Structure 1
Amino acid sequence: MATRDEAIQAIKDYPIIDKKIHDRREEILVPYNPFEDENIDGGRAQNVRNESLEHSVEQLEMDPVLKYLYAEEKAVATVLSQCIEKQVRSLLDKATYDIIYEFYLRETQIYNAEGIGKKVHLSRGRVYARKDAFIAEVQKELTKRDIRETNTLK
């Protein structure tokens, strides 16, 4: 079960999640091995099969950190797309997208809750209600993905 703090952290990490995924993939594919010298005892054996590619692919697919980063990215993207695609006025609409963008996705926050409220024509309380609804929806998506992960592991 994903907590509210995990959902908030996933939203905050969303702008840089691609970099985190790339860095983690690089850590797996190119591990740091100091002082590894392959030219000991006259070089490599000629008849040994190199299985490093299979091992790397297996590590990429089984890495729990990478799986969680992909799940975070998918959860936030799903809820953000719900905000953009909705035509009717609800707690998850274009105004909610603007609120979340200003609170979490922008590099430096320009507006506070009242400023955002004026921008999207909502009261300060409604701004916080929409922000909380978005966080709850991301939390729900993360929990769904956690349940799917545990079911596939069994």
Structure 2
Amino acid sequence: MSNYGQNDPNQPYDPNNSGGNDPYGQQGQQGQQPQYGHQYGQQGYGAAPSYDPNTPGGYAGAGPAQESKKAQTALYLSIGGICCGLLSIAGIVMGVQAKTEIKNSGGQLTGDSKAQAAIIIGSVFLVLGVIGNILYWMSR
């Protein structure tokens, strides 16, 4: 029978294994640390990514860019301004808010062109509505 992996129970415990009977087949040397993984003082895996609660997933660069829902809604409201002038005002305000959010998102939000279109379309419909009302009330 083999004594592999077992120490002699009649001998006192030697934490440095100076007797040379290493059960793992390595010759132990007193005072020397085992050579596992990284050496002491060497660089490990690197720094963890920084946490950002404003980005999807919580970490910078997590996930693909998403289209701004506010820009989409602003565009719909601005187009709806053809029926009601108040919708074009709401579309302009939401378009400006969407552009600000997209600019401050650090590339996580897209839809800047939709927000810009909402501002332009809402402005055009608002001006046309004002001119139409002026002409209507002047003709009476």
* TM-score normalised by L of structure 2: 0.27
Bigger Cα Rg:
2
Higher relative contact order (CA 8 A, sep 6+): 1
Q: Which has the higher helix share?
A: 1
* TM-score normalised by L of structure 1: 0.25
